[in-house]
Amino acid sequence: METLTVQPPNATKVATKWALINLAASVIFTYGTQFLNLDPNGPTKWIGTVLMIAFLLLTQVEYRKELGGYMTFGQGFSAGFRYAVFGGLLVAVFTALYYSILSPDAFVKVMEPSRVAMEQKGMSSEEVEKAMAITLKYGWLFAAFGVAVVYAIIGAIVSLIGAAIFKKERSAEDILNALENQSPDELDPTV
């Protein structure tokens, strides 16, 4: 007798899809900010965070839909956190490329408030220039690492919240109804 087993939807596939969408949105947002000459240290910087959170929640919603409308807390957290890790790594690579190769002048603009803060603390111009030179040389690396870490931290928190909101576990009645509607050939005795 041949047993039909159904594989559950793949959370990694859903998370990767939304991480790639997030990357595309991040690239568009970054270049849009640059071309519109918006202050990268202004309130617009939070738009990227809002997009990241929205895409994480959409990951969880889509995964629950693929699971047939039911999702445990653990499944929801797993899908959301996978998105956060994948998205963080992709955006970190883009950040490194953007600040080191594609637009190093943008990094100088982002670091301008740091220069002003050092001058206000009374640092000499040589100290400020030395600190800025080191920051401009290696800062893109720290920025990329910071993006990956922040995505993971925010992603873990939002994944917990989203999983609690979107979880919908099957009741005993739902399970019995599903079993009654299956033919004997579809039942997996190992379940």
The CA distance from 30 to 36, in Å, is 10
pLDDT at 95 over 90: yes
The residues that bridge with 71 in the sheet, in sequence order, are 168
Backbone angles phi, psi at 37, to 5 degrees: 55, 45
Detail the DSSP E strand segments found in the chain.
none
Averaged pLDDT for residues 17-24: 97
**Token pair 């982002």: residue:** 110
pLDDT at 3 over 60: no
What are the tokens at 45?
A: 């910087």
pLDDT at 77 over 70: yes
Where along the chain do its domains lie?
Answer: 11-180
Percent of the chain having pLDDT more than 90? Answer: 51
Q: How far is CA 12 from the centre of its chain?
A: 13
Averaged pLDDT for residues 91-106: 90
Mean pLDDT of the chain: 86
- Per-residue model confidence as pLDDT tens digits over 137-189: 888 899 899 999 999 999 999 999 999 999 988 777 766 666 677 655 555 55
pTM for this prediction: 0.79
